[in-house]
Amino acid sequence: MPISNNKVALLVHACDRYEFLYKGFDYAFSKNWDFDIPCNYYFATEVKDTNIKGFANIKSGKGEWADRLATLLRNIEEDYVLYFQEDMWLSKPVNSAFFKGLFHFADENNAQQIKLHSSEVYTTKQTDNFIEGFNVSEVDNKVSHFLMSHQITLWRKDFLLAQLYKKEHPWRNERKGTKRLKKLNPLIHHIDYFAENGAAEINSNQNPIKRSEYYAVSFNSTLNSNAARFIDELKSGNAQERKYAEELQNHFDNDLTHDGKPKPKKVDLFKKFKTWFLNKKK
């Protein structure tokens, strides 16, 4: 575990079944991130070993999504967690000055949750605080959706840990966690720093400097159309990158899951029962 005075852990929360995506995350992150940003870097698998540039590999063990994340949080020392997942691939460079300002703001204001991804699901209120031209807005909890979300967010670690109920899978955690947060009604901040899947800014900013961007390349355990931009880019790279581009293209063209299996077909249970019933009568 890295030893420093940094108060922020950049945590990539990955699952072992998505190991196929690790190379793509590594490529996009190392190309666009500035490792001079003052935080400690953790790439969290379940039981698999992995080697991602600049990251310490930590492990959660097997279990449900919320339980695995809770285990990780209890085993890191930093006060804040900058949360990523392995299918969130950076597509534009970041600004180190922004993150230094962000971490200072969070520490000075004891911020509990600062959402860093733009989305129309949030309604925000402007404040007098700006970081590199980005307004540090406040989320209107009553009318906004997905107060609990797993997109890129800076969390107070203890606050995030309190939102993790045992045996919740990620979709239930977002759904039920949002209901819990609406009832709790905490102060949630929002900054338009990352254009998630190319989303436009939603706040009243002042010519923000060097806005970054990422694309979520996975949907239902398969690659989605967002992966195409990275495949094209990797095809122009070195031999290893071109080989990985071919593997990504094959998965995309054949609708393979990240562990290389055909995507399960949806089963019409009524039709299946009807066929079974008719065959039984013969």
| pTM across the whole model | 0.92
Long-range contacts of 184-188 (CB under 8 A, 24+ apart): 185/141, 186/112, 186/113, 186/141, 186/159, 187/111, 187/112, 187/138, 188/112, 188/113, 188/114, 188/115, 188/138, 188/139, 188/141, 188/147
Determine whether 159 is exposed, middle or buried from the number of CB atoms within 10 Å of its CB (0-12, 13-18, 19+): middle
- The pLDDT value recorded for residue 272 is 53
Our count of domains for the chain comes to 1
Amino acid at 66: A
* Residue 265 resides in a domain: no
Q: Give per-residue pLDDT as tens, 250-280.
A: 999 999 999 999 987 655 555 554 454 445 4
- The pLDDT value recorded for residue 266 is 59
* Residue 3 resides in a domain: no
Q: Give per-residue pLDDT as tens, 155-210.
A: 999 999 999 999 999 999 999 999 999 999 999 999 999 999 999 999 999 999 99
- The pLDDT value recorded for residue 3 is 38
What CATH number should be reported for the domain holding residue 150? 3.90.550
* Residue 156 resides in a domain: yes
* Residue 235 resides in a domain: no
Amino acid at 193: Y
pLDDT at residue 18 above 50? yes
* Residue 255 resides in a domain: no
**Rounded CA gap, 41 and 234, in Å?**
24
Domain interval for residue 115: 8-216
* Residue 79 resides in a domain: yes
pLDDT at residue 1 above 60? no
**Rounded CA gap, 236 and 241, in Å?**
8
**Rounded CA gap, 54 and 59, in Å?**
16
Q: Give per-residue pLDDT as tens, 126-157.
A: 999 999 999 999 999 999 999 999 999 999 99
Consecutive H or E run containing 22: helix 22-32
